[in-house]
Structure 1
Amino acid sequence: MANVFSSAWFYWAVGIAFGLPLGLVALTEWQHALQRKQGALLRPVTILRNYLLPLIALLLLMLEANQIPPHATSVRVVATLAAFVVLVLMLSGINAALFQSAPDGSWRKRMPSIFLDVLRFVLIAVGVAMIFAYIWGANVKGLFTALGITSIVVGLTLQNSVGQIISGLLMLFEQPFKLGDWIETPQAKGRVVEVNWRATHLETGTGLQITPNSVLASASFTNLSRPEGQHTCEVDVVFAHDDPPDRVCDMLTRAAAELPQCDPDRAPKTVPIGGMEYRTKIPLKSPAEDGKAKATFRRWIWYAARREGLHLDETDDEFSTPERVSESFNKVVGPVLKLRRDEHEDLVEHARIERYGDGERMQRAGEVPSGMMFVLSGTVQMNAHLEDGSQVMAWTQDEGSFLGQSTLTRQPVLGSAYAVGEVAVVYLPRDTVADLVQRNPLLLQELGRTIEERREHVLRAVDQATDVDID
């Protein structure tokens, strides 16, 4: 018994028997703490707990407790596994300490992945060479010499290709764009969806444009996403010489401000650029909305220009003819207002037919309508405004209905009206409608009831939306 206590292997065995569980418990607690905090060192600690600590305990048990010679194959195998795990732990620790925890905008965050891959390859090659040299006694000097000579020969042979790759990698290190940015190159315009050591992949409207990094490094390109929140698109249009420039600029600016893609924190602007051309700068929330914003803007100004009596592309609007207005009165206005023949003929002279494009705002909440509109075709959606600025649909109006009746009481409307598809309306100015209702008190009472009913509809829609949000 005395020989057992005096033997060195006994203390090593006892130390490993108690030290291994205690080390596992300590590392487990550290691992759980890192999991709760989403720490960058979670993976290195996991490798240390699950692999390295048990292997070191096994190696010490073989060498010190069992007294197995170091040159034995079993010892060398375990030592090789432990050294390999140390190498993996070192790579994981460097990555976590230097790059995963790097602050945004630092050089560590901008480091291209290809550089990290090369660094990992060099460390792995050196580590494996040291494992074979010190554990297995292999001669690796000749191997490194051969690799050095081969690298020089390959570098001289492929110096042009390697130069392009290096220039592309240096461009990536500068990181003039990141995934999700929109860039415009001489070849294409699109969103960056992938960047690797050879090329940048752009998602365009016609497919995937693959541009070599060396091309981007040697040419100029535009990052449309930087600075953030400053992207604008420009639309050039032509009007007739007789159209007043101020009216044209005002109409184009108002149409641009109504676009759903327009940045609400910045205002669009329109300026004449000479001749009959005008340029509208539309601030957008994102470069991704550039094409859609331009298409919607051009569609809306086609309708807005005709309503304003302006001549987009020097074209006259011959849609609202007296014959068509008279026919529309017989169809929708006469039955709603219960017009007599003499009233019909008098009102036709002051009315006109207007058209709105899909999604256009026909009536803005908080404004007093300048007249009444009778829906000739299409559907109008009435929206109520909530306190947070959002909107909720209150009801829809189809052919034969009307809106803008609060023009008689000079009250601002509570909701906004939007065209669903193309909508054609018969427009009557306020003075014309006022003269009509003065001669017809019953019509005034009926319009008054309609105003109150629609006001209740708007308030009810707001209350219902508020109740849903609370629930």
Structure 2
Amino acid sequence: MITVSQQPWFWPVLAIVIGLPVLLLILTEIGTHLDRRQHAAGRIVRLVRNYVLPAGALLLLIDQVTRSVGSDDFTWTKIISTVFGFLVILAVLNSFNLVLFTNAEEGSWRKRIPSIFVDIARIVLIIAGLAVLFSTVWGANVAGLFTALGVTSVVIGLALQGAVGSIVSGLLLLFEQPFQLGDWLDTGGVRGRVVEVNWRAVHIDTGNGIQIVPNASLAGAAFTNLSRGGDYTVSAEVTFTTDDPPAQVVAMLRRIALGLPELVPDTMPTAVPIGGADYRLSFDIRGPSEEGAAVARLRTWLWYAARRQGLGLDGDTTDDYATAENTAAAVASVAPALRISSDRAREVLTGAQLERYAAGETVLRIGEVPDALRFVLRGRVRLGIPLPAGGQRPVSTVETGDYLGQTALTHEPLPSTAVAMTELAVLVLPVTDLDQVIGSQPQFARDLSDVIDRRRDEALQAEAQTTT
């Protein structure tokens, strides 16, 4: 007498009844753990848990039932075997994709492979796997199918040789990846930032629209990746008048460039005359994406700086702001702060001058000994101290009616840097004129002393916050 345990279906069924729930429970815990870590393997675990294992268990059960009843019709067994085999192929391909490409290190050949290559290889492997599966399960003759596909591929390849060659050369360019999204390219005829890369073309933002360059064109020609060469050098040509002293122009150009926020730290701009009244200024910035802002800021600051020094930028030596009438009105407006009358102010402040600064321009630097007192007529100024990592820590703000360069008379270095927050207009009072003011009104000297002490204390407090 044959017992139940001796039946051929007993152990397979027992394995399904006991093993399947245990495996499902284990895979559920593993999948939950991977999902919490946002790991890509969680998708593969869910595929195996929800589809591969149930299909395999169903295949085993139906096969045992078919054999136990002695039926010769294995159609359902073959159908489920086909589904199960297809699911196994998907799970294996996804596992290889995860191991080889999903977790690939930056810069490795696996990371550089375009996704379209991976997709094509996946489709080819799926077709090959299905062919083997149908040949094994259904006994199909797939040799003729592969022969037909081969002949068709040859015919299509010959008919589309030009188009396919262009696409392949473009795909090879993507595989090499000499540029990435955000890089700046100069192809000779097109210069701009890469905003999109696909299997057919590269989209370049030139600033005047999107230029679409076929990948095959880039693959067959030389181009320059402006973002792969480290620091990027900007050159700007400016014109003054032949009467302007070249040494003074060169010094002003270098000083203005040194204040640009786009300038690479610890680099020195260069300015040279290139003939006639023309000069070339060169400086390094962090990348070509900052070139437009840097050049625009440079030319804006040069306009103000040239007029402060009486230089003829672009041949223009006129300044309608720093006139005698405007200067006299400004002198009268600051007389109350100097504790003298307007008449006395016009009498002693003979060397007063008007100056303007652009927003963001440095008026006075920390450690500098000022040669004049600057009354703020219009605009706002931020006082700050430099931070070790770059930038400045704000100390205080100087408003209209206040003044800068408070240590001009004491010949002490300034405790903070003054940067214009908006367009700034100041009245410059030289030390010789201030001596006469203090000689007739000592109270102003005490006002200056109070301002010096207050701003020194504010700078020390900000410095202490920086070091803690």
Q: 1:67/1:274 Cα in 2 relative to 1: closer, same or farther (>3 Å)?
A: farther
Any gaps of 5 or more consecutive residues in structure 1?
none
Letter in 2 for 1:82: F
Higher mean C-alpha deviation, range 260-269 or range 391-400: 391-400
Deviation at residue 293 of structure 1 after TM alignment: 1.0
Show the 5 A alignment for 1:164-203. 164-203=166-205
Q: CA deviation at 1:158?
A: 1.8
Structure 2: which amino acid aligns with 1:226? R
Matched with 1:24 is: 24
1:66 CA drift (Å): 5.8
1:149 corresponds in structure 2 to 151
Conserved 8 A contact 1:356-1:424: yes
Give CA-to-partner distance per residue, 1:289-330, whole Å, 9 cap, x none.
111111111111111122233222232133423333222212
Tell me the secondary structure at the aligned position of residue 356 of structure 2. Answer: strand
In structure 2, do the counterparts of structure 1 residues 167 and 245 end up closer, same or farther at CA, with 3 Å as the change threshold? same
Q: Which moved more, 1:113-122 or 1:379-388?
A: 379-388
Q: What is the match of residue 251 of structure 2? A: 250
The change in CA–CA distance for 1:322 and 1:28 in structure 2 (over 3 A counts) is same
Q: Which runs of 5+ in 2 are unaligned?
A: none
1:8 aligns with 2:16: no
Kept in 2: contact 1:10–1:65 (CA 8 A): no
1:363 aligns with 2:375: no
Matched residue, 1:123: 125
Give the partner amino acid of 1:131.
L
Aligned-pair CA distance for 1:119: 0.9
If the length of structure 2 is used for normalisation, what is the TM-score? Answer: 0.89
* Matching of residues 404-415 of structure 1 within 5 Å: 404-415=405-416
CA distance change for structure 1 residues 275 and 95 in 2, over 3 Å: closer, same or farther? Answer: farther
Q: Distance in 1 between matches of 2:397 and 2:5?
A: 95
Q: Is 1:58 aligned to 2:61, yes or no?
A: no
CA gap of 1:70–1:243, structure 2 versus 1, over 3 A, is farther
Tell me the secondary structure at the aligned position of residue 210 of structure 2.
strand
2:362 maps to a residue whose letter is R
1:249 deviates by 2.4
CA distance, structure 1, for counterparts of residue 226 and residue 403 of structure 2: 44
By how many angstroms is 1:213 displaced?
0.6
Whole-angstrom CA distance in 2 between matches of 1:151 and 1:451: 85
Residue 275 of structure 2 aligns with which residue? 274
- Where 2:410 maps in the other structure, the secondary structure is coil
CA distance in 2, matches of 1:265, 1:70: 85
Deviation of the 1:343 alpha carbon: 4.9
The letter for the 1-side match of 2:8 is: A
What's the CA shift for 1:410? 2.4
Q: Determine whether 1:295 maps to 2:296.
A: yes
1:12–1:65 CA contact under 8 A, matched in 2: no
Secondary structure of the corresponding residue to residue 407 of structure 2? helix
Contact 2:234/2:285, CA 8 A, preserved across alignment: yes
Supply the distance in 2 between the matched residues of 1:126 and 1:152 (Cα, whole angstroms): 18
* CA apart distance, 1:55: 1.8
Provide Cα deviations, 1:35-89, integer angstroms capped at 9, x if missing partner: 5666554443332333222222221222236637685332223222211111211
Q: CA shift at 1:356, angstroms?
A: 0.6
Q: Contact between 1:372 and 1:405, CA under 8 Å: does it hold in 2?
A: yes
Which shows bigger deviation, 383-392 or 441-450?
Answer: 383-392
Answer yes or no: is the 8 Å Cα contact 2:331–2:352 preserved in 1: no
Structure 2 contact 184–193 (Cα < 8 Å) conserved:
yes
Name the CA distance, whole Å, in 2 between partners of 1:129 and 1:414: 81
Q: CA deviation at 1:384?
A: 5.4
Residue equivalent to 1:315: 316
Q: How many residues align?
A: 464
Q: Which residue of 1 aligns with 2:213?
A: 211
What is the distance in 1 between the residues matched to 2:94 and 2:268? 49
- TM-superposed deviation, 1:373: 0.9
**1:390 CA drift (Å):** 4.5
**CA distance in structure 2 between the partners assigned to 1:243 and 1:351 by the alignment:** 23
Secondary structure, aligned partner of 1:405: coil
SS in 2 for 1:128: helix
Aligned position for 1:45:
45
1:188 shift after superposition: 3.1
> Partners of 1:79 and 1:265 in 2: how far apart?
69
- Residues 322-370 of structure 1: CA distance to partner in whole angstroms, max 9, x if unpaired? 333222212x23232134535523422x121111112212122332222
How many angstroms apart in 2 are the aligned matches of 1:137 and 1:231? 65
Q: Distance in 2 between matches of 1:388 and 1:111?
A: 38
Query: Which residue of structure 1 aligns with residue 418 of structure 2?
Result: 417
- Structure 2 SS opposite 1:436: helix
When residues 66 and 156 of structure 1 are mapped into structure 2, their CA distance, relative to the original with a 3 A threshold, is closer
Alignment of 1:61-80 (within 5 A): 61-64=61-64, 67=67, 72-80=74-82
- Is the alpha carbon distance of 1:83 and 1:71 closer, same or farther for their aligned partners in structure 2, counting shifts above 3 Å? farther
Fraction of identical pairs, as percent: 45
Whole-Å separation in 2 of the counterparts to 1:387 and 1:216: 43
| Aligned residues of 2:366 and 2:414 also touching (Cα < 8 A) | yes
1:303 alignment partner AA: Y
Partners of 1:70 and 1:129 in 2: how far apart? Answer: 24
Aligned residue for 1:313, secondary structure, equals helix
In the other structure, the counterpart of 1:450 is 451
User: Match for 1:101: what amino acid?
Assistant: N
Partners in 2 of 1:129 and 1:164 — Cα distance?
31
Aligned equivalents of 1:452, 1:50: Cα separation in 2: 76
RMSD after superposition: 2.9
